[in-house]
Amino acid sequence: MLSRLRRDTSATSVVELGLATPLLMGMALSGTEVVALAIVHVKLNQLAITVADNASRAKQSQVNGAPQFREYDVNQVFRAAALQAEELAIPTNGRIILSSLEMNSSGGQWIHWQRCWGNTTYASRYGVQGTGATGTAFKGMGFTSPKMVADAGTSIMFVEVAYQYKPFFLGSILSPKLIRKEAALYVRDDRDLTQIYNPSPTSTVASC
């Protein structure tokens, strides 16, 4: 019987499949994880661009004077972001930071105002509201060199998205990864840059 068992090869394929299955499953899950991460990168990149675009267009026309940008407009921009990236759960897993990059009276760059959306505490990589209000020490925003700078009398809507990515299948192997995306667009047409207005009925300020 032992001799016949030693010569029996009828289950060879089953044994080989059993040995190879863990490796194949690992490769399949790893591939799926890579694709999921790539999709999240694309979605966050598009989200940053959309927020910058919407913020650059939003305004309330005035009979006498330049159009105004209001706290209501800020909230509408963030509301649109919530609808676009609903499946990412930004308020729980990340934060969107909207800054107005402008030129100060000294010819330097400054963050005139800054608004945030999301329950996390991620901060801007370039400073808080008021950074660079005087002098020329603040060189602008953006990870590029030289930095992005605004011209006199204009404003750049600079958006930062910080998102904590949690692996879908390999959470026990891979640690969460912080993903950051940036986008920036000049304000379209004219806008009163002196402040963000909040006329009655007032809107909640999305402070950082």
Residue 160 contacts residue 127 (beta carbons within 8 Å)? no
Sign of the torsion angle spanned by Cα atoms 196, 105, 136, 145: positive
Note the pLDDT of residue 156.
95
Of 28-32, 33-37, 80-84, 113-117, the range with the lowest mean pLDDT is 28-32
Report which of residues 180 and 10 the model is more confident about. Answer: 180
Average pLDDT score over residue span 130-137: 93
Q: What's the pLDDT score for residue 9?
A: 62
Identify the band that residue 62 occupies on the pLDDT scale cut at 50, 70 and 90: confident
> Could you identify the residue written with the tokens 């407009």?
73
**Higher-confidence residue: 87 or 21?**
87
Percent of all residues in the chain with a pLDDT value above 70, rounded to a whole number: 85
Kindly give the pairing relationship between strand 94-103 and strand 155-165.
antiparallel
